């Protein structure tokens, strides 16, 4: 089976406000977990799946992220410089659209980190992509098997793999761990101002074209210094 995805965008422009004070001097993508920068974890996963065209957007402490990417001699990385204005996650995709041509692309949050279960989750995600039915396909992590995540969940997943939002006052079993495949046609609905990918998800849900694949493994939401400590403890415990 041929790879349905040729291009990946790694989102690395955020300020990492919840990770302060660490992110005052170090951009969140360069914070180390298990001895490696979060960004390197993301790049290595993308590279391992055979995706060689990688775009990384930058904003906060951009010079550090750019230098880090240039030091990666094993992979070609295109920098999308957003220092003039933060575009949010959706706006960054619109800016990068020419790179995607008319093919599905991978979106990878630079702080998305997990320990694999029985198989490779990106391979499972790629294998599940159906261009005729889907505009977006996201990994979904089970709330009970996460580190650093709390709350009532965000998404439901039906027997056909379609994703819907949590209703108010309800509890749902899944949360988005930061990895998805999207087709550029979904960007046709994008507003002109900066916006979140939540807007695109809602548009896909309305059309019944947002699908999900359950992550097999344990997701670590490295969003705060406390969660970073918990992730380090877990990795040390399992010898990863």
Domains of the chain, start order: 7-238 (3.90.550.10)
Backbone angles phi, psi at 85, to 5 degrees: -170, 140
Q: 27 pLDDT band (50/70/90 cuts)? A: very high
Q: Helix (H, G, I), strand (E, B), or coil: what is residue 138? A: strand
Closest listed residue to residue 142, CA positions, set 213, 192, 42, 205: 213
Residue 1 has pLDDT above 70, yes or no: no
**Whether this model's pTM surpasses 0.85:** yes
Give tens-digit pLDDT for 80-118: 999 998 899 999 999 999 999 899 999 999 888 999 988
Residue 17 has a pLDDT of 82
Q: 150 pLDDT band (50/70/90 cuts)? A: confident
Share of the chain above pLDDT 70, in %: 99
Q: 69 pLDDT band (50/70/90 cuts)? A: very high
Give tens-digit pLDDT for 42-57: 999 999 999 989 999 9
d(CA 169, CA 118) in angstroms, rounded, equals: 34
Closest listed residue to residue 176, CA positions, set 202, 204, 215: 215
């Amino acid at each position: 089976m041929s790879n349905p995805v040729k291009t990946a965008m790694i989102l690395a422009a955020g300020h990492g406000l919840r990770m302060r004070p660490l992110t005052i001097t170090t951009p969140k993508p360069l914070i180390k977990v298990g001895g490696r920068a979060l960004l390197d974890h993301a790049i290595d996963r993308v590279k391992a799946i055979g995706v060689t065209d990688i775009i990384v957007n930058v904003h906060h402490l951009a010079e550090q992220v750019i230098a880090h990417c240039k030091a990666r001699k094993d992979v070609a990385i295109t920098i999308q410089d957003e220092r003039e204005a933060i575009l949010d996650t959706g706006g960054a995709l619109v800016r990068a659209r020419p790179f995607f041509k008319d093919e599905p692309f991978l979106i990878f949050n630079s702080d998305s980190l997990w320990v694999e279960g029985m198989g490779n989750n990106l391979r499972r995600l790629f294998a599940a992509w159906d261009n005729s039915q889907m505009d977006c396909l996201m990994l979904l992590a089970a709330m009970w098997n996460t580190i650093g995540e709390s709350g009532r969940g965000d998404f439901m997943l039906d027997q056909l793999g379609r994703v819907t939002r949590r209703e108010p006052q309800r509890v749902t079993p899944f949360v988005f761990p930061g990895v998805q495949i999207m087709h550029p046609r979904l960007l046709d609905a994008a507003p002109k101002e900066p916006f979140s990918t939540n807007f695109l998800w809602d548009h896909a849900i309305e059309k019944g074209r947002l699908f999900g694949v359950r992550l097999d493994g344990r997701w670590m939401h490295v969003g705060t210094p406390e969660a970073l400590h918990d992730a380090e403890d877990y990795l040390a415990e399992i010898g990863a």
